[in-house]
């Protein structure tokens, strides 16, 4: 039975469950936490697949950009100082 | 560097400078998280102040120092959620929202590869602005997961604990949020005219 036929035979709940499992495994794969045999299978199946390479590369770039946002922006200095002053005052009142 | 254990001990013993140290270690991170989560700077400042106050006053009851970071993000997330409920109903989002054109018809997808990011400071800054805009457009529950995992560096387990959801839900939301951002950035690159020629 082809994957398409298997999908067509599934209920909505089964498809949702399958989708959840695939996404979880794919996330683990992309983060390097998936089991080795799963990684080997993915790489074997998708070797030379341009859309998958592009998908993996752009997702990795998205994650890298997110980590670049880790350093808080300088424009937080003013609200930060103002907030700390307010919290200090409120702690002293309590 | 102060460990969470040392920090908690200093706070519990009411040592001079304990509050300053607490703020130095976690303050800016929590404010940045609140700003990005709330979107609205005024709400974010309220959330931040409330988080610091609640946390500092309740820190003595925290038994496990290793749980400190997760616990702080949980307080901040709950404060953001409470304000969010007042502002607007939470928007649900499904995987369908992120399906690229052609998916339904079973066509072979043309996925643009824009992962070669600019090296120059100006290009990078512009990209970061576009990225921050993409984060701001995510529904709150997805935004929080992405911020905790990819920006703040919490693990899947820590994020699940902070948001009081299952690890499986964290993975799903994170994937959807990353996909949404990926599409947002593809649109940005298309507008720039770079690698976007292959998109349609």
What is the pLDDT at residue A2?
64
CA distance B174 to chain A (A): 9
Q: pLDDT per residue over A54-75, tens digit each?
A: 888 888 899 989 988 887 777 8
Helix orientation angle between A50-68 and A12-30, rounded to the nearest 10 degrees: 70
- A73 contacts in chain B (CB < 8 Å): 32
- Chain A hits for B111, CB-CB cut-off 8 Å, are 50-52, 54-55, 58
pLDDT of residue B100: 45
Tokens of B80: 């953001």
The Cα angle at residue B185 between residues A57 and B149, in degrees rounded to 5: 70
Q: pTM of the full predicted structure?
A: 0.82
pLDDT at A29 over 70: yes
A-chain CB neighbours of B127 within 8 Å are 65
Q: Is A12's pLDDT higher than 70?
A: yes
**Given A59, A66, A83, which is nearest B31 (Cβ)?**
A83
Percentage of the residues of chain A whose pLDDT score is greater than 90: 17
pLDDT interval class at A6 (50, 70, 90): low
Residue ranges of chain B whose pLDDT lies below 70: 1-2, 85-109, 194-200
CA angle B103, B105, B109 (to 5 degrees): 45
Note the ipTM here: 0.78
What pLDDT is attached to residue B89?
45
Question: What pLDDT, in 10s, does the model give residues B57-97?
Answer: 888 778 777 889 999 999 999 999 888 765 554 455 554 55
**pLDDT of residue A40 exceeding 90:** no
Render the burial of B42-66: b for 16+ CB within 10 Å, e for the rest.
ebbbbbbbbbbbebbeebeebeeee
């Amino acid at each position: 039975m082809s994957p398409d036929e298997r999908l067509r035979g599934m209920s909505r709940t089964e498809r949702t469950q399958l989708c959840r499992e695939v996404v979880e495994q794919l996330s683990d794969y992309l983060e390097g936490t998936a089991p080795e045999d799963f990684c080997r299978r993915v790489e074997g199946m998708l070797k030379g697949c341009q859309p998958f390479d592009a998908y993996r590369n752009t997702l990795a770039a998205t994650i890298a950009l997110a980590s670049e946002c880790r350093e808080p922006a300088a424009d937080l200095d003013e609200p930060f100082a103002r907030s700390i002053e307010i919290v200090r005052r409120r702690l002293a009142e309590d | 560097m102060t460990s969470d254990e040392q920090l908690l001990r200093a706070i519990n013993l009411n040592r001079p400078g304990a509050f300053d140290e607490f703020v130095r270690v976690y303050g800016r991170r929590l404010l940045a998280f609140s700003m990005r989560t709330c979107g609205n700077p005024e709400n974010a400042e309220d959330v931040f102040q409330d988080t610091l106050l609640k946390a500092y006053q309740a820190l003595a009851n925290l038994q496990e120092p290793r749980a400190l970071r997760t616990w702080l993000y949980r307080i901040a997330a709950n404060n953001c959620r409470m304000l969010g409920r007042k502002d607007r109903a939470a928007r649900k989002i499904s995987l369908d929202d992120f399906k690229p054109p052609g998916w339904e018809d079973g066509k072979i997808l043309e996925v643009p590869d824009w992962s070669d990011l600019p090296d120059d400071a100006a290009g990078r800054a512009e990209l970061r602005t576009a990225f921050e805009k993409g984060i701001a457009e995510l529904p709150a529950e997805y935004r929080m997961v992405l911020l905790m995992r990819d920006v703040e560096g919490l693990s899947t387990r820590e994020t699940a604990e902070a948001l009081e959801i299952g690890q499986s839900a964290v993975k799903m939301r994170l994937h959807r949020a990353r996909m949404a951002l990926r599409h947002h950035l593809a649109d940005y690159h298309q507008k720039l005219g770079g690698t976007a020629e292959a998109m349609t």
